[in-house]
């Protein structure tokens, strides 16, 4: 079982937005003196904030599980944009050491939000967060998967939502899973962004229903199933290979 190589804190792009402003701390002190059960904190912005603290905690726990149980294989992320989750995955892997290689796959040319040059922003974010640059695969997921995937995969994160037709999104999710699943040994973990289950997922929004459609359809004839994770205002889920 590998031992963590250092105790550096996880950093990710936009993390500073979640730090309460001085006026918020002042208001919260007043609310505490009034014995209320409320406090004030920055609002999650789905168009800008790629991650929540709850999601970061989930990633850290699941990646630690893969390292702690000695699951063989590399780490992959399908759909990485400007590197929010990639920074968390890379940071978690760095703490555990070992010889796992981290691969990211994206077109790096779909721009929204404040990103002007997606590829350049991704590289800058990895540097700013103190995370080694992963192996970058540039192209369409439908072309790169499974062609460019590592032979063995211990951990995978799929984030391929594009806001279009849920059926199209579901088809891409199934394509990604079809490439990853056969390369994943027992104990490997797949995290699926936007996996939302009504009545089970708390607070998280169903922003890309195609994620659950594709994930559940792919596993329909397999022993595994996706479980919803608590991600605060976001939704995601995971499965463990049996």
| 174 domain-assigned | yes
Q: Give the pTM.
A: 0.88
Q: Sheet of 227-231: strands edge to edge?
A: 135-138, 102-106, 74-78, 153-158, 189-193, 234-240, 227-231
pLDDT at 3: 46
Q: Is residue 20 part of a domain?
A: no
234 part of a folded domain: yes
Give long-range contacts, CB 8 A cutoff, 24+ apart: 21-26.
none
Is position 9 within any domain? no
pLDDT of residue 2: 46
Domain count for the chain, please give it: 1
Q: Does residue 126 sit within a domain?
A: yes
pLDDT of residue 50: 75
Residue 142 sits in a domain whose CATH number is 3.40.50.150
115 within domain boundaries: yes
Q: What is the pLDDT of residue 1?
A: 44
Residue-range definition of the domain harbouring residue 78: 53-240
Specify whether the CB–CB gap between 166 and 209 falls below 8 A.
Answer: yes
Strands 189-193 and 227-231: unpaired
Supply the pLDDT for residue 91: 93
Low-confidence ranges of the chain (pLDDT < 70): 1-8, 46-49, 110-116
């Amino acid at each position: 079982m590998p031992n963590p190589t250092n105790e550096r804190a996880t950093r990710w792009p936009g993390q500073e937005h979640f730090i309460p402003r001085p006026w918020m701390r002042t208001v919260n002190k007043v609310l505490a003196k009034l014995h209320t059960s409320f406090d004030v904190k920055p609002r999650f912005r789905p168009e800008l904030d790629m991650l929540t603290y709850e999601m970061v905690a989930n990633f850290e726990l699941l990646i630690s599980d893969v390292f702690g149980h000695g699951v063989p294989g590399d780490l992959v992320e399908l759909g990485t944009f400007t590197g929010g989750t990639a920074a968390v995955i890379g940071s978690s892997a760095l703490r555990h050491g070992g010889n796992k290689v981290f691969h990211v796959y994206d077109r790096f040319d779909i721009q929204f939000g404040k990103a002007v040059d997606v590829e350049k922003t991704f590289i800058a974010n990895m540097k700013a967060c103190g995370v080694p640059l992963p192996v970058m695969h540039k192209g369409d997921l439908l072309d790169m998967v499974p062609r460019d995937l590592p032979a063995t995969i211990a951990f995978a994160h799929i984030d391929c939502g594009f806001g279009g037709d849920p059926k199209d999104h579901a088809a891409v999710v199934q394509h990604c899973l079809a490439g990853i699943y056969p390369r994943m040994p027992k104990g490997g973990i797949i995290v699926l962004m936007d996996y939302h289950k009504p009545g089970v997922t708390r607070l998280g929004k169903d922003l890309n229903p195609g994620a659950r459609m594709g994930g559940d359809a792919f596993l329909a004839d397999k022993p595994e199933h996706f479980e919803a994770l608590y991600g605060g205002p976001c939704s995601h889920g995971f499965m463990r290979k049996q």
